[in-house]
Amino acid sequence: MPAGYRRHLYRDDAVVLRAQKLGESDRIVTLLTRRHGRLRAVARGVRRTTSRFGARLEPFGHIDLQLAGSPEGVGSSLHSVSQVEALSLFGKSFLADYPRYTAASAICETAERLTPVEREPSLRLFQLTLGALKALAAGEHAATLVLDAYLLRGMAFAGWAPAVTECAVCGEPGQHAAFAVPAGGAVCPDCRPPGAAHPSPATLGLMAALTAGDWPVADASAPSVRRECSGLVAAHLQWHMERSLRSLPLVDRRELKP
């Protein structure tokens, strides 16, 4: 630790992305904070039955907390949690609901993957993640629709948004019949590579609706269209991440209604 460095206290609000056991009574929590990006922090003693704030540090919660450490990256990368206040513990609304729980897990894993650099502020991703968990807790839309909307918008923030209303290669406007993940999305007949998929027009329409937040169109989509859309979105995301998401294969795609 640099000479003269002292860990100082600061506050932020955060979404809890992940929690790992540490020793016999501690946890390491991965947080997506509003002002300081993704952080990891040690929460001492939270696995004891006498802990005052153990339940507040479960995944999917929106919390206000006081941290000890350096938001500028001086010293240890691990912060310490000294105070926690619950703002909205969304997980309580769907811990017994498998489709919503697995969708929330995929959202949090994606948020962690989209923030590869610790302590780099990402306000838009924080707001998107918080909004997606809030939507899952409210239960107004099918969990798979909320997840796919989150993945599409998250890819847009990362610069990976699939082309839907124009050719990904030449930019020719229109709803094209083929979709090629390596090419970047929908492709026209002249640019279509071998092996391109041919999704239904309704599937591409659903992708556009989820990206734009057009929920009346998304909610009215057929189950087969939702499944095809989910497959394309997952393939596009994992192509650009260059690795698979552990939680995506666990998402329940059988739900038909919110």
For residue range 235-251, list pLDDT tens digits in order.
Answer: 999 999 988 899 999 99
71 pLDDT tier (thresholds 50, 70, 90): low
pLDDT for position 124: 96
Report the C-alpha gap between 64 and 85 in whole angstroms.
5
Model confidence pLDDT, tens digit, residues 155-191: 999 999 999 999 999 999 998 999 999 999 999 999 9
Secondary structure of residue 67 in the 3-state scheme: strand
CA 190 to each of CA 157, 168, 184, 198: distance values in angstroms, whole numbers, following the listed order? 29, 12, 15, 15
Rounded to two decimals, what is the model's pTM?
A: 0.91
Rounded distance between C-alpha atoms, residue 85 and residue 69, angstroms: 18
Distance CA 105, CA 101 (A): 6
